[in-house]
Structure 1
Amino acid sequence: MSVGSASADVIRNNQSQAEIFKLKIDHFEELFDWLSLNNLVALSKTCKRMQRIAGYYIKTTYAAVKFNCFFTSIYVRDLKMDELSSYMKKLAYDQCLIEHVRHMRADQFKSVTEIRLRNVTFSDVGISRIKEILGQLETVKLINPRFTSPNQEFYVSFLQYCTNVKKLCIQSMKIPIVGRDNGWLLRQYPTLEHFELTYYEYGNRTVDELAEFFEQNTNIKTFATNTDIILKHKNIFKNTKAKWDVLSVQWNSIFKFDWSLDILNELHERGLFRQLHVYFDESYLDQGTVNGLTSFNGLTKLFIGPMKNGIDLSPLIGLKQLHILMTDNITNKSILAETLVNLEFIQFVDARVDDIHPFIRFSPNLTKISVCHLKEKDGHTLNIEQLNKERSKLSNARKVTIYVEEHVYLAVKWAKNQTNRGFIEIKRSASCDTLNHMQGTNFLL
């Protein structure tokens, strides 16, 4: 990891400085790697110069962290981050009127490229305040967006300012999705590559504007939605000329599983998408459903929330990505690791070191393992020398990077003096920008 030559001027100054500022940027990086985010924030408060150096490091090393913005301050966990706002890449706002966030100014958030707004109410005053920030965003995530006036139109009031958006994710409890109508779906978004639209509502009402949206936005490479929308709009999907690399589908109910099989396979045969990503966030997965998933064409990613005991996932040999909530419910992980020969990435919410071992030993194409919470109390139990030895015995094995909580990463580093053994490397989860779904976002990426 390198902060980059662009930040080299941070340590240049003609005035006399403390001895520590004679260090090169690379040396600061090596030193900072031994510190926690709390330590870095404390260090950044010692002087303006150190704030700039630590800020650049935080922006790069903690690229996946979403900083929570409240009315007067910015936090990650209980750590106040106001002084480092210009180095933050991702912001999250929850349940507020946007104009009440006093510090929401473009000159304060120069690095922001992603924003998540949950249950946020928009007004003309609030949107005018964040207008300049919207222009620099690449990812916009909205959960239950609302307007103070029913006459506000989503595109005119908000989306027209998001001129660089590549990922647009919208989740709503009912239709119309945002504003008074869905005229925003009749627009063209030249930079858009990923689009998510999910809503939950009884009845057969449809969003007919989707047909025009897909007609005008053929640049979209990935589309994410839920089974309700797929089933209600199957004719639109059958007739669209869109071509996606990935279709992500969230199952609202296990009872709609069989209903979705035929339509999804037909859409795959028509060439609408190449890969299918399936999310079971809330519905309990049973063995019958697992066996049924073998009939879904193009399935490469499976996200599993709750599941019944004794689940055998080995029939899903085409999987490249697997996300698991409860490892205790899965039977015989060694057989699973040997069978899923295409697996490249596996993510556990809660796991033991013993849950990791089989995949290190038997999954040759695996390159990433993420563990949101390691159950062992002592991070030293993550023995990277032993894991590296096991990995080296596997024929044609690829290097595996294991992403762990910061305290586990630091425990390993302080105990072993390094985190890279060749076949195995340990990194902070906060540095991996691809671990979207398990960070409390519920977005289908």
Structure 2
Amino acid sequence: MTLRREAEKRKSSPLGTEMASLCKVSLKMVAPPIMKLDIDCFHEVFDYLCLDDIISIGHTCQRLQRIASRFIQQNFAAKRKTYVNDNIYMCWKPRQISIFSLFIEKISIFGDFPDSFLSINAVRFHLLNEIRLAQIELDSVKIECIKAILPQVEVIELDQCCFKQNFYGDFLKLCPKLHRLSVSRSSYDRDGGTIIGTDNEWMRQKYASLEHLELTDLYEFKGNELKHFFESNQNVHSFSTDAKSLLINRQSFLSCGGKIQRLAIDFHPKNIDSDAEPAFIVNLIYQLLTELYEKGFYRSLHLYITFFDRNNCLQKLFSMDSLEMIGGFVTLIENPLLNVKNLDINKGLDVTNLEEFPDKFPKLERIHFTEATANDILPFVRQSKSLKVMKIDLLVDGTHLEKGVLDLVALDKERSTLIRARKLMIYVNETVFLATKWATSDLNLKFIELRRGESFEFKHLNARHRFITSF
């Protein structure tokens, strides 16, 4: 918590302020020597600066705007901490939008405010490829405001949105490059089984570029639209839903002739039946997932746990050979999970056997902590030889971390004792990264390399989990 307070109090660094002042020259003056530096030199300097400093430098002239923007694209691609302007959330402050609008790639709109869509209509977002809309009633006026950018959008997430028009003809048809579509709790005609829009006919269309579909909080399908969708869109290789929707539409999924690579499940037993014992619900899900796996509907399972397993009833799900990824509230693993490659541990957990975790995941390649101490990560550094990526959103206290500086030499030495260990990329929050960069300069050692946390996105198939852990 001390680091967090220090980060909030931190002002722009003297180097960033000095660079910005040096770059502000009138057109009548000769360019200062700093302007003779090439792009690589500027990027090397930017590596010592926080995002606000880099943006300030980008405000000074068009050349530095281009250089700063390119650096930001490369090193802050996964940044999700957002600023709000007219209920539009993005990783840019309102005063920065006019300068950097050409380089904004992701925006989110929360709440039904018409001005949000008017603001988007007034700004040119040339690189925008991801839109998330939440708690909005989409009508023809709002769609018209974003119509110009829909042809370039690749990711669309709709959460609790009401759409009273034809979802395909008036919306999806305008998105020819769509790769990922998520519709969560967005049904208008819930009693009729409609997911979104006036009907489910959009599921009978073919989407040439679509690779991932997420549908959550579903009611029972009345027809064969789910079966038709997967059989007509063989290019869709991953699907995400919640456990309740999976059970309600059991027969629809079992009758699907299509096949996908990855199935992601958001699981909380109380969302299925608040009166039933969690172990009973787990058994139902286990049986259905086993049936779907045996019939070849999916190859690998991503499981997102959204409750504390007080009764230790999840071990049956954890024993599935298809399990490849576990995320959320993971507190206890009894037996080794031989096929799990990705692990996401939520913050605030009372994990008493964390030192045993590396032995439970012999094939672990990537791990993500929303919050961890340096002591939490040490067992994985020392024991997980297949591990190649570790991301910690907030790293606080512990061994080898002093005054915000991570002792990379010590961590490298710890890793070097592990036979046939892969080199480990550690992604940390900006405070730790900059403190370590200024203290040690060299962040790339033989077995350990430190990088900005915002430069790597731990991708989740489940949209709700992605935004819970990212914002």
2:432 alignment counterpart: 408
1:4 alignment counterpart: none
Alignment of 1:311-326 (within 5 A): 311-326=332-347
2:204 to 186, 209, 234: 186
SS in 1 for 2:145: helix
SS in 1 for 2:147: helix
1:158 aligned to 2:158? no
Q: Any stretches of 5+ residues in structure 2 without a counterpart?
A: 1-26, 271-277
Measure the CA separation in 2 of the matches of 1:318 and 1:18: 57
CA contact (8 A) 2:46 2:54 kept: yes
1:344 aligned to 2:344? no
CA shift, 1:110, in A, is: 0.7
AA aligned opposite 1:186: R
Report the RMSD for the aligned CA atoms in angstroms.
2.7
Alignment of 1:305-316 (within 5 A): 305=329, 311-316=332-337
1:275 aligned to 2:291? no
Structure-2 change in CA distance of 1:417 and 1:314 (3 Å): farther
AA aligned opposite 2:454: A
The number of equivalent residue pairs is 422
Q: Deviations over 1:98-131 (max 9, x none)?
A: 5643331486211111111112232212212211
Measure the CA separation in 2 of the matches of 1:72 and 1:302: 33
1:70 alignment counterpart: 85
Measure the CA separation in 2 of the matches of 1:439 and 1:426: 25
2:70 alignment counterpart: 56
Q: Deviations over 1:123-153 (max 9, x none)?
A: 2122122112111111111111223xx3x11
1:46 aligned to 2:43? no
Structure-2 change in CA distance of 1:381 and 1:442 (3 Å): closer
AA aligned opposite 2:467: T
Measure the CA separation in 1 of the matches of 2:242 and 2:105: 28
Q: Deviations over 1:168-216 (max 9, x none)?
A: 1111155332222222111111100111110166xx5657421221121
- Between 1:327-336 and 1:354-363, the stretch displaced more is 327-336
2:214 alignment counterpart: 196
1:265 alignment counterpart: 290
1:116 aligned to 2:142? no
Measure the CA separation in 1 of the matches of 2:464 and 2:345: 10
1:329 aligned to 2:354? no
Measure the CA separation in 2 of the matches of 1:86 and 1:354: 42
Measure the CA separation in 2 of the matches of 1:328 and 1:154: 41
AA aligned opposite 1:341: P
Please report the TM-score for the alignment, with normalisation by the length of structure 1.
0.87
1:372 to 393, 405, 411: 393
CA shift, 1:386, in A, is: 0.8
1:441 alignment counterpart: 467
- Between 1:372-381 and 1:337-346, the stretch displaced more is 372-381
1:231 aligned to 2:247? yes
CA contact (8 A) 1:249 1:277 kept: yes
CA shift, 1:339, in A, is: 3.3
- Between 1:190-199 and 1:104-113, the stretch displaced more is 104-113
Q: Any stretches of 5+ residues in structure 1 without a counterpart?
A: 1-12
1:34 alignment counterpart: 48
SS in 1 for 2:378: helix
SS in 2 for 1:346: strand
AA aligned opposite 2:321: N
Q: Deviations over 1:287-321 (max 9, x none)?
A: 632421244230011112375xxx34544333211
CA contact (8 A) 2:90 2:108 kept: no
Structure-2 change in CA distance of 1:240 and 1:312 (3 Å): closer
Structure-2 change in CA distance of 1:207 and 1:430 (3 Å): farther
SS in 2 for 1:81: helix
Measure the CA separation in 1 of the matches of 2:267 and 2:88: 37
- Between 1:82-91 and 1:102-111, the stretch displaced more is 102-111
